[in-house]
Amino acid sequence: MFYEQRMTVPDSPAELRAEYEDDLAAIVERRGSADVAAETGLERDVLEALTAGDSPALTLEEAAQIQSLADGEPDPETMVTMALEHLLLGMSTAVLDVDAVESHLEIDLDAKEVHQKIEGRAPMSFEEFVHVQHVIADGAP
For the stretch 97-135, pLDDT in tens is 999 999 999 999 999 999 999 999 999 999 999 999 999
- Position 13 scores a pLDDT of 96
Is the pLDDT at 27 greater than 80? The verdict is: yes
- Position 1 scores a pLDDT of 87
Radius of gyration of the chain (CA): 15
Please count the residues of the chain.
141
Report phi then psi at 59, rounded to 5.
-90, 165
- Position 139 scores a pLDDT of 85
Alpha helices in 33-75, H assignment, sequence order: 33-40, 44-51, 60-67
Q: Could you tell me the pLDDT band of residue 141, with boundaries at 50, 70 and 90? A: low
- Position 84 scores a pLDDT of 97
Q: If you average pLDDT over residues 16-21, what whole number do you get? A: 96
DSSP-assigned letter for residue 11: S
How crowded is residue 2: how many other Cβ atoms within 10 Å of its Cβ? 23
Q: If you average pLDDT over residues 28-48, what whole number do you get? A: 96
Residue type, 134: H
Residue type, 52: A
The structure's pTM equals: 0.94
